Amino acid sequence: MAKNRYRFCFGPWNISEGQDPYGPTTRPPQSFDWKLDQLKGLGFDAMMFHDDDAVADIDTKSESQIHKEAKALKKRLDDRAIAAEMVAPRLWFSPMTMDGAYTSNDRKCRRYAIDRSRRAIDIANILGTDILVLWLAREGTYLREAKDGRRSVELLVEALDAMLGHDKRIRLAIEPKPNEPMDHAYVPTIGHALAIAQLTRDPKRVGALIETAHAILAGLDPADEIDFAMAFGKLWSLHLNDQNGLKFDQDKPFGSNNLRSAFNQVRALERNKYGSNGEYICFDVHPFRTTKVEHWLDHLANSRRTFLRLVEKARSFDEARARQLVGDRNYQALDQMVIEHLLG
Ligand code: XUL
Ligand code: MN
């Protein structure tokens, strides 16, 4: 396999139990330590954390208790030589985030969201990462008349400014998603994320995370989203997975639905040298609901394997011949060349 600079990451939620809105779990829960112990053997280097993956029941704990538990986790990570890739405040479970977090119509709830984000930044510091991921799960509406869209942009900027002010080194990576759980989200695409960055007190420290499935849900080509973010030097993290069209967020294994699109995502990462500043390839993938316990980790191993095989495919693609065909405007031959290359 070609030598490569890539390092890999997943989150504890990616070893999930199979629950969906219409039925219970299909696999028994596993402990966090067990998940941590699987990571290296699967060829992974880092774990990503929601704030309450790092410190359970975070809302019930004092600041000093939170710091103490985060330090204990850091030691467990160090003992296993596992890095923390990012921390993300989970702003979609609490009753305080029922109607949005930073854009809630209730001032007390907005205050809660900002305070919790500050605590998540402290945890990131302790775990040794400067990346706070913001998936803005409930920043949107179930019905448009419920919120003022212009005011919501101002509230988002206020919240980002409070986070940037809390810590001079933290970088905010916004993870856009157009819908689910909301009808319409306020930050559906990378363009929205990078535009909102410009309104903050320190645009240099506000960037983005692209998730394949989220881009597809927005009707966009994930490879174009990657090129766009990287043209601004703003792709600081990545959630590769797959998605079969405009449905619920499926988080399928990378390449599972559209191998050609996966190839083009890898090509975009290759041409932009993603990873050369230490960025990780994270797989935000879930096992199929039907998965047996003994096959529970295969979606992670398979996503990584498919990714590395596509790196080889990207590197062995006949670029000179492709340029010739582009010059000759012979896109029919180019199309077939890609198909033949993927078929091997
Ligand atoms: C939701 C999603 C999240 C974020 C982290 O669709 O992708 O798991 O990646 O909060
Ligand atoms: Mn994600």
Q: What does residue 221 show for φ and ψ, rounded to 5 degrees?
A: -90, 115
| H-run or E-run covering 32 | helix 32-39
As a whole number of Å, the end-to-end CA separation of the chain is 15
How confident is residue 4, by pLDDT bands cut at 50, 70 and 90? confident
The predicted-structure confidence for 243-269, as pLDDT tens digits, reads as follows 999 999 999 999 999 999 999 999 999
186 touches 153 (CB < 8 A): yes
CA distance 222 to 212: 5
Please give the number of the atom of ligand 1 that sits closest to the Cα of 214: 6
Specify the amino acid at residue 184: H
For β-strands 140-141 and 83-88, DSSP reports them as unpaired
CA distance 82 to 132: 18
Pocket of ligand 1 (CB under 6 A): 88, 133, 135, 175, 177, 211, 239, 249, 284
The predicted-structure confidence for 89-134, as pLDDT tens digits, reads as follows 999 999 999 999 999 999 999 999 999 999 999 999 999 999 999 9
For residue 200, the number of C-alpha atoms closer than 13 Å in the C-beta half-sphere is 25
Computed over every residue of the chain, the mean pLDDT equals 97
Mean pLDDT of 267-296: 98
The predicted-structure confidence for 153-187, as pLDDT tens digits, reads as follows 999 999 999 999 999 999 999 999 999 999 999 99
State in Å: Cα 213 to ligand 2 middle.
8
What are the strands, taking DSSP E only, across 114-254? Answer: 131-135, 140-141, 171-175, 184-185, 206-211, 235-240
pLDDT at 238 over 50: yes
State in Å: Cα 177 to ligand 2 middle.
9
Which tokens hold the place of 66?
A: 């939170």
Which tokens hold the place of 236?
A: 């600081």
Using the Cα atoms of residue 268, residue 271, residue 272 and residue 273 in order, give the sign of their dihedral.
positive
Q: Whose CA is nearest to atom 5 of ligand 1?
A: 135
The predicted-structure confidence for 183-230, as pLDDT tens digits, reads as follows 999 999 999 999 999 999 999 999 999 999 999 999 999 999 999 999
- pLDDT value of position 3: 59
State in Å: Cα 281 to ligand 1 middle.
14
Could you give the 3-state DSSP secondary structure of residue 231?
helix
Q: Which residues are catalytic?
A: 50, 53
Q: Whose CA is nearest to atom 8 of ligand 1?
A: 284
Please give the number of the atom of ligand 1 that sits closest to the Cα of 50: 10
Per this entry, what is the length of the chain?
344
pLDDT at 2 over 60: no
